[in-house]
Amino acid sequence: MDSRHATIFALVFGMMGAASAPLRGQTTQPASPDVIAELVARLGKGSYRQREQAVRQIAELGPAALPALRHQVRSTRHEAALAARELIEELDGVLFTGVSLRLELDPPRARWNEPFRLRVIAENRSDYEALLPWETRRPPTTAPADLAYTVGLTLDIAEFLEVVGPDDEPVELNVDTIGEDEAVERAVWARATSGPVRALAAGQRHEVELAAINRGWARYPLLAAGRYRFQLIYQPQWSREAWIDAKIGRVESNVVEIEVTEAAPDAILTAAGPVRLRVVRTNGQLVAHLANTLDVPQLVNLNFGTDPTLFAELRWSIRPPNDQSIVVTPPPTADSEPIEFDPKRLRLLEPLDEVEVGRIDVETLLATAAAKLPGIPRGDLQVAVRYANFCSRETLRRTADEATNERERRLARWAETLPHHVFTGSPGAEPTPLVEQE
């Protein structure tokens, strides 16, 4: 895995954060064909110092020198052919040579949960073909393909994008669970192994846009109030560290700034996970509520039943001081066990939205405690509750492979239209005293 793909892998799987190189630099411009030919010819002429100077100058030219170098490999001068071969290895795949990069961000000011649009404009000002590290053609705009394209494009740009927050610290790319969508997962793994490289012809201009750089499936969460700086920076990872130190081949865009005028609520900034489960006591019942503490909307499954591939579960238990919990099964109700999975029971929660997921009578809990935990004072008992859901977009989609009737085929087709991922996991609430403390 080369440095580019290692960086993509690290960004997605949490191995490292955004880079923090300084926000300044230069752009390399290729020379004319005659100058290139002369420099390549000098690989086998003059003193060692003169040959090394030619090697460095050719490196600064980038891939534009490759045709002349491939011709020089066939030279009868062994030293010149060897130098040409080494330079080909160095220059193969070098990006952005002769390309001017410009960023645009709008709006200039917005709240934490309002989308910022990032536009990247690349213009090849040289007389040679240049390489861009992202897709230059958008796929058909079907929902899954469009989502996968957006996530993939964000990863492509994020590898070179530096985002610095109001505290002058890098802002890391956040990628939501990729296994939730098969097309997204393929796009991510493709970039962890061999990301796209596309040609930009001489004189051509290409523009890509991320409509919600801070609100998408792959995003930079701009949650604190203040000003953020964005810049694209590319530095070829030469085998010679001196070339890196000298910033040979380095390309940098302009710096753009945006202002987040209102920070995210503390419940999101300090959240331990994507959802929070809590229990409240009301009218002789304990009621469980599930809240979205993610910075973007997500779906929660309110289909409760026994099939873990489609249904969610809510488990109540009584916890004595020795922590040997007793599971309590609430009496069934008309709403507790749907006959079949109902898409309408997937509830979309905006950040900090809350939904009731279940309730149980305190009297039911007291009766269970008296029968199964005799002799333990009621005041020493606590009630725990855990919500679990492992039904995702992908498990819904896989029902098509095993569909035996039109309802199951319809369910699988419906999963393709989901605009958001479904929360999967098994969060628990803080234990609650069985009886109110006096």
Question: DSSP H helical segments within 173-265, as ranges?
Answer: 182-193, 241-245
Strand partners, 383: 318, 432
Are residue 117 and residue 219 in the same domain, yes or no? yes
Q: Are 181 and 148 in contact (CB under 8 A)?
A: yes
pTM: 0.82
DSSP state of 178: G
- In contact, 288 and 376? CB cutoff 8 Å: no
DSSP 271: -
Residue 154 is inside which H or E element, if any?
Answer: helix 143-158
Listed residue (297, 298, 299, 294) closest to 271, CA to CA: 294
Answer for the pair 434, 373: CB distance below 8 angstroms, yes or no: no
Is 438 within a domain? no
Of 85 and 339, the structure prediction assigns the larger pLDDT to 85
Residue that finishes a domain, picked among 56, 75, 91: 91
Beta-sheet pairing, 285-292 with 346-349: unpaired
Are 362 and 393 found together in one domain? yes
In a domain, residue 344? The reply is yes
Same domain, 423 and 332: yes
Residues 255 and 117 occupy one common structural domain = yes
Q: Are residues 131 and 252 in the same domain?
A: yes
| 3-state DSSP of 15-80 | CCCCCCCCCCCCCCCCCCHHHHHHHHHHHHCCCHHHHHHHHHHHHHHHHHHHHHHHHHCCCCCHHH
| Highest averaged pLDDT of the listed ranges 219-228, 316-325, 391-400 | 219-228
- Strand boundaries in 235-370, DSSP class E: 251-252, 256-260, 275-282, 285-292, 298-301, 313-319, 326-328, 346-349, 354-361
Domain count, the chain: 3
**Dihedral sign computed on CA atoms, order 263, 265, 270, 274:** negative
Q: Please name the residue ranges forming H helices in 73-142.
A: 78-91
> Would residue 355 count as lying in a domain?
yes
Which residue type sits at 260? V
Residue 79 CB neighbours (<10 A): 13
Average pLDDT on 359-366 reads 92
Domain contains 240: yes
* pLDDT recorded at residue 145: 56
Full domain range(s) for residue 53: 33-91
- Please check whether residues 172 and 292 belong to one and the same domain: no
Q: Which of the four pLDDT bands, split at 50, 70 and 90, describes residue 356?
A: very high
In a domain, 10, yes or no: yes
Q: Which pLDDT tens digit goes with each residue over 231-249?
A: 999 999 999 999 999 999 9
Instruction: Dump pLDDT digits (tens) for 138-191.
Output: 766 555 558 888 899 999 999 999 999 999 999 999 988 777 777 788 888 888
Residue 101 shares a structural domain with residue 131: yes
* Span 290-312, pLDDT tens digits: 999 999 999 999 999 888 888 99
